Amino acid sequence: MHRAIKIFLLFALLALHFQSAQASSEDQKAYGVAKQNACLGCHAVNKKIVGPSFEAVAQKYQADSNAQVFLKNKIAKGGAGSWGVVPMPANAKLSDADLSLLTSWILRGAPNKNQN
């Protein structure tokens, strides 16, 4: 019985480690997409620059089930009004996959071990 529990715990720890490594890899990729597309010129992870911090965006939309769709549209088409009068330029060249990766990352508070 104890051996079965030890084996179960070992597999559980391995699964948790794999999920953590996968999330970290996706976070790094999303950070790279943000950096390559000049998002970090106006947004930071934890402080307002021209636009709100990614953490503030995550907090604002945490209870909104349509947040990812809304943010994908906002990033792709740009616009103003959600955070004030300064317009956000469109980023129409991003693929749907990159938009999904980026918005998912932002809605998690933009975790990244190499934050500025």
- The CA-atom distances, in angstroms, between 102 and each of 31, 69, 95 are 8, 12, 10
DSSP per position, 40-53: GGTB-SSSBSSS--
- The answer to whether the annotation marks 42 as part of a ligand binding site is no
- 3-class SS at 1? coil
- The answer to whether the annotation marks 88 as part of a ligand binding site is yes
Phi, psi of 72, deg, nearest 5: -60, -45
- The number of beta carbons lying within 10 Å of the beta carbon of residue 31 is 23
- The answer to whether the annotation marks 43 as part of a ligand binding site is yes
Q: Which residues are annotated as a binding site for heme c?
A: 39, 43, 88
Q: Which residues are annotated as a binding site?
A: 39, 43, 88
